[in-house]
Amino acid sequence: MGEGENQKTVIVTYSDALFEKIPLRNILKENILTISKGERISTDFITEVLFEYGFERTDFVYEPGQFAIRGSIVDVFSYSSAMPYRIDFFGDEVESIRTFDVEDQLSRDLHQTISIIPNLQEKEQAEGAILTDELPENSTVWVKNPELVLERINQLNEIALQIDFKAQAGYASGKEFFTSLQNHRIVYFGLRPPSTVHQNIEFSTSPQPAFSKNFELLADDIEQKNLNGYRVYLLSENQAQLDRLNNILHSIKPDLHFELINESIAEGFVDHSLRICLYTDHQIFDRYHKFRLKHEFTRRDALTIQELVNLQPGDYVVHIDHGIGVFGGLVKTEVNGRLQEAIRLIYQDNDTLLVSIHNLHKISKYRGKDAEPPKVYKLGSGAWQKLKQRTKSKIKDIAKDLIALYAKRKAQKGFAFSPDTYMQQELEASFIYEDTPDQQKATQAVKLDMEDERPMDRLVCGDVGFGKTEVAIRAAFKAVADSKQVAVLVPTTILALQHYRTFTSRLNGFPCNVEFISRMKSAAQQREIRQRLKDGKIDILIGTHSILKEASNFKDLGLLIVDEEQKFGVAAKEKIRQFKLNVDTLTLTATPIPRTLQFSLLGARDLSIINTPPPNRYPIQTELHVFNTAIIKEA
């Protein structure tokens, strides 16, 4: 809350939160632990209070409700903070207070005073109050779609009653909420405001028109708005998208006047009073809007910490300097008169190694390819160093072969594709999702390789659903725009059909003919496809390894796209090598084999990795079942 007469506080909430009552002011005051820099306070007192508040003591904090004590440092994750606090003591005096990131454990901001608040929802719910009852009397309450708010609160209240009759004491009903509004100034907006309002205010605004990815329609609208004296702003959080829009619109009508803003809002609008238009790119392209949160916890490193906490004595771990050992738990050791936590690793002959928690980056959990236990190394024997040396030597041998192979390929001359055309920009801009940063980098790298006169040989690596196919579609269309044909090679017939549908859907409305060939086609249909391929009437041909037989039938092949090359047999791989001698090649894979083997078998010199998942992507779930029709239907 802001302090002082001139400071205002704005609270933004929603129906589900209004349904739950909030703690009363006196309960909140009783459950706040305030700590200030320079204050004298013992760690024992902090521990006692945090236990009373229901906090859990852990080795590392990674979620609210946890605290950890390591020597003179206390880490606490309050329920009222987006980041945990690190309190550094000198004796019993608080020397410094700072927030830190759970991902990399690095400090962020310094604080003079902090308030640690427990999960007050676990307190007696009957003592709660409605949020609007706790607001000052001169507050203004804006309610969007009041009927929907009322309906949702009552719906949640009925569910609470069904689960537990006593639970109703901790929740507000719709009637209670709207009764509590009578002490405040109320502004209703949205759909169907109540009929009892004192005054209606009409705003001269209208929603952003629907352009449905039609750039001519957008250009005409901007031109008309310019003539009527409106200022037009195009908004996007992606600078590359703004550049594409700028190029497309000026290529249609060079005299258009509009401004580009590298920010976005939820919905675009036209304000007829101020005579301004704000158009968002996600509405222009019928794309989902990605909301950016103020702070988002990524699980990548937090899970590493969680993994360490979950390690059980007896688990195998790998130390980068000493090899595979057995995890022996966390122990406390005295360093320079101070107690510190360390990790105990047990090696052959029960030799023990203590690793400071500050050297966690040197340890990883052992992950073997089979269930057999690994060999535990002997400390000081040099066996681990010899193994690392042999591995480095093998890598050098492979690298030597690769350099020779790469030099041979460099001597070859391929086709240098032209820079992006207007249609290429239109295709990329029409993607209904927002490109992830890795997707942008991979697309840019592929296009630069294609524009080079040396034959491209790039591997794009990424998990299922991370956007590899979209990168391939853009590369394929770039080749087609230069009157070159594209072959898409896939390991299975089902995948060929899936790619055919995806390519056809994305390239709908563009001058591009897509076809697929597989055993599902009749002999007559296959003959017809071969003839059209020879005549240059097919731009993109998708198929399984049988497509390799069609090498001589392509009129002018410019790009070969291979999906999951490691699933092809040795004979097929040999044909691919001959096939791609001086043709640009793009290989896609979701499950790469280890890097060195991958480089030598696939002949992939250039590598693009798509690590970033799309926003709100659900993780892939893999389950093994016997044949079951009900499970298939459910999936």
DSSP state of 171: B
The first and second tokens of residue 294, run together, are: 């103020």
Is residue 258 within 8 A of residue 232, CB to CB? The reply is yes
Nearest to 557 by CA among 509, 502, 489, 468: 489
Query: Structure tokens of 109?
Result: 């901001």
CATH dotted code for 32-122: 3.30.2060.10
Decide whether 299-381 matches 412-606 in CATH topology. Answer: no
Among the residues of 138-261, which ranges form H helices?
Answer: 146-163, 174-180, 215-227, 239-252
Which of 91-100, 280-289, 585-594 bottoms out in mean pLDDT, i.e. has the lowest? 585-594
Nearest to 55 by CA among 69, 44, 67, 43: 67
Topology of the domain covering 412-606 = Rossmann fold (3.40.50)
Does pTM top 0.95 for this prediction?
no
E strands within 85-126? 85-90, 93-100, 107-111, 113-116
pLDDT(95) > 70? yes
Average the pLDDT over 113-136 and give the result: 73
The yes-or-no verdict on residue 632 having pLDDT over 80 is yes
Q: How far apart are CA 275 and CA 570, in angstroms?
A: 66
Confidence of residue 302 (pLDDT cuts 50, 70, 90): very low
Question: What pLDDT was estimated at residue 272?
Answer: 92
| Domain ranges (residues) in the chain | 32-122, 205-284, 299-381, 412-606
Taking residues 551-559, what's their average pLDDT? 81
% of the chain residues with pLDDT over 70? 82
CATH class of 299-381: mainly beta
Where are the alpha helices (H) located in 412-492, listed in sequence order?
Answer: 422-429, 437-451, 468-481
Residue 370: Cβ within 10 Å count: 6
pLDDT at 385: 84
Provide mean pLDDT across the span 583-593.
Answer: 78
Please tell me the distance from the alpha carbon of residue 457 to that of residue 587, in angstroms, as a whole number: 8
Q: Could you report the per-residue pLDDT of 537-549, keeping only the tens digit for each?
A: 999 999 887 777 7
Q: What whole-number distance in Å separates Cα of residue 69 and Cα of residue 352?
A: 24
Q: Tokens at residue 382, please?
A: 């040099």
pLDDT value, residue 224: 93
Q: Specify the 3-state DSSP secondary structure of 599.
A: helix
Q: How confident is the model at residue 231 (pLDDT cuts 50, 70, 90)?
A: very high
Q: What is the model's pLDDT at position 575?
A: 66
Among the listed residues 348, 210, 387, the one whose alpha carbon sits nearest the alpha carbon of residue 286: 210
Name which of 68-77, 192-201, 279-288, 411-420 the model is least confident about: 192-201
Cα gap 171→20, rounded to integer Å: 5
In sequence order, the β-bridge partners of residue 324 are: 318
Residue 316 to residues 306, 308, 386, 397, 499: CA-CA distances in angstroms?
A: 16, 12, 20, 31, 42
